Amino acid sequence: MKTVIFDLDGTLADTSGDLIAAANVCFEGLGLGALLDPASDAGTALRGGRAMLKLGFSRVEGFGEDEILRQYPILLEAYARDIDTHTVLYPRAMDAVEALKVAGYGVGIATNKPEGLAEELMRRLGVRDAFASLVGADTLPVRKPDPEHLFEAARRAGGDPALTCLVGDSDTDRNTSKNGGVPSILVTFGPSGEDMAALEPEALLDDFADLPAVVARLLD
């Protein structure tokens, strides 16, 4: 079976608001105030917890890598408490997923978000059952950009890893597909959308309504 595997943060859903709120819990706990801005720092948020902590601590004196390691579990706890307060699925994302399934493709998720958090978020958004697989950052000994992360998501969705493509929003997603020798489709509607063309993916996606046609061109 041919499969379409999706990244989660910044691809299927804009999770940046809840991620930044969790990071700011850490900074506020240290008496530093809210060091990250939900609008201007959204792109960093979608690169994960450590990236947010690194950015925030770069704006003040006296905090280094050791503090990032100490604060990361606190960030995860804060995020788990309020994982879907601001998060929204991108327009027409689930319509595209259903159209792909009707067309005979398997669909799954390969995310560098911890598996438990990804599962919880998808359940709260009411869309977990739409995906045949979900592989998180800690599901395997490796994660993106190692292509095995993508390939395992394809296998668990009932597909052939050689006949898959990855829909994502970052250089990590582009490198994952490139390392695996399969196509990538990068979305342009996320916070870093204007940077996607420079990564030279096999396709750019401006609107999820166009995804089924793009996938058919790349995989059929």
Q: How much is the pLDDT for 47?
A: 86
Band (121; pLDDT cuts 50, 70, 90): very high
Residue 191 has a pLDDT of 85
Output the pLDDT for position 135. 98
Active site residues: 7
* Model pLDDT, residue 46: 86
User: Which segment of 44-48, 133-137, 157-161, 164-168 scores lowest on mean pLDDT?
Assistant: 44-48
Domain boundaries 3-14+87-219, CATH class: alpha beta
Q: What is the pLDDT of residues 67-114, one digit of tens each?
A: 999 999 999 999 999 999 999 999 999 999 999 999 999 999 999 999
φ/ψ (deg, to 5) at 165 = -140, 155
| Rounded Cα distance, 82 and 189, in Å | 24
What is the predicted pLDDT for the residue at 140?
98
β-sheet bridge partners, residue 6: 109, 167
Strand order in the sheet with 3-6: 133-135, 106-110, 3-6, 164-168, 184-187, 203-205
Question: Mean per-residue pLDDT for 116-139?
Answer: 97
Determine if the peptide bond prior to 161 is cis (ω within 30°): no
pLDDT for 192-208, tens place per residue?
888 999 999 999 999 99
Cα maximum dimension of the chain: 55
- To the nearest whole percent, how much of the chain has pLDDT over 90? 96
Sketch the domain layout of the chain as residue ranges.
3-14+87-219, 16-81
CB 123 within 8 A of CB 140: no
Percent of the chain with pLDDT strictly greater than 70: 100
- Taking the model in full, what pTM does it have? 0.94
- pLDDT bucket at 190, cuts 50 / 70 / 90: confident
Say what the pLDDT of residue 129 is. Answer: 98
Residue 178, pLDDT above cutoff 90: yes
pLDDT at 44: 93
In this prediction, residue 170 carries a pLDDT of: 94
Question: Residue 56: its pLDDT value, please?
Answer: 98
Q: What is the pLDDT of residue 16?
A: 95
pLDDT computed for residue 123 by the predictor: 97
